[in-house]
Amino acid sequence: MLHHKQQHPGQLPNGQEVVVKRRSLHSNQGKEEFDNETVLAAKLHHRKLVKLIGFSEEGDEKLLIYEFMPNASLDRFIYDPDKHGVLDWETRLKIIKGIAEGLLHLHESSRDSAIHRDLKPSNILLDENLNPKIADFGLAKLLDGDQNHGNTRRPSGTM
């Protein structure tokens, strides 16, 4: 039984490295988040958003295939004492600016504006040069037309 999601490295036939995210098989929330993530990731494209390469849904099996980010997530650099020193002030500023650029795209620049609703260090992935990309759009919410804020019926995010 999967609790929420598992991630596995993989490689496509063309040699491209990917990460396969497997959603919970026994959760209505997992189904809802999977559907939301596939729709949003397909609509929202930007160099500061992690790229969805594909997905598969057969019965209860739900897989999302994303570009591989070799430095994993920002939380590993913040909370791991061995990696903490890698983030000098110049790199931290680059990461902050990259996150802000991705959020600006989500909120204002995209044809389909969205609110992430679960932005945290573990949802900021880092490429080989420590450039950030925002990930995990399972809780994100699309905004209608010129709407610049949204209402939700339930609290979202990580507590």
What is the band of 149 on the pLDDT scale with cuts at 50, 70, 90?
low
- Indicate if the pLDDT at residue 91 is higher than 60: yes
The residue ranking higher by pLDDT, 26 or 86, is 86
**Tokens read off for 51:** 């790229």
Mean pLDDT of the chain: 84
Coil, strand, or helix at residue 147?
A: coil
pLDDT at 111: 73
pLDDT in the model for residue 159? 46
In CATH terms, the superfamily for domain 5-142 is Transferase(Phosphotransferase) domain 1 (1.10.510.10)
pLDDT at 3: 37
* Minimum mean pLDDT range among 24-28, 30-34, 42-46, 141-145: 24-28
Catalytic annotation, residues: 118
The answer on pLDDT for 139 being more than 50 is yes
Whether the Cβ atoms of residue 19 and residue 9 lie closer than 8 Å to each other: yes
Nearest to 103 by CA among 88, 78, 123, 126: 123
* Residue 150: both structure tokens together: 């949204």
Nearest to 40 by CA among 126, 123, 119, 111: 111
CA dihedral 2, 137, 124, 10 (to 10 degrees): 50
Tell me: the pLDDT tens digits for 5-39? 688 999 999 999 999 988 766 666 677 888 888 88
Domains of the chain by residue range: 5-142
What was the pLDDT predicted at 50? 94
Residues 6+ apart with CB under 8 A from 44: 105, 106, 110, 112, 114, 137
Over range 68-94, report the average pLDDT. Answer: 93
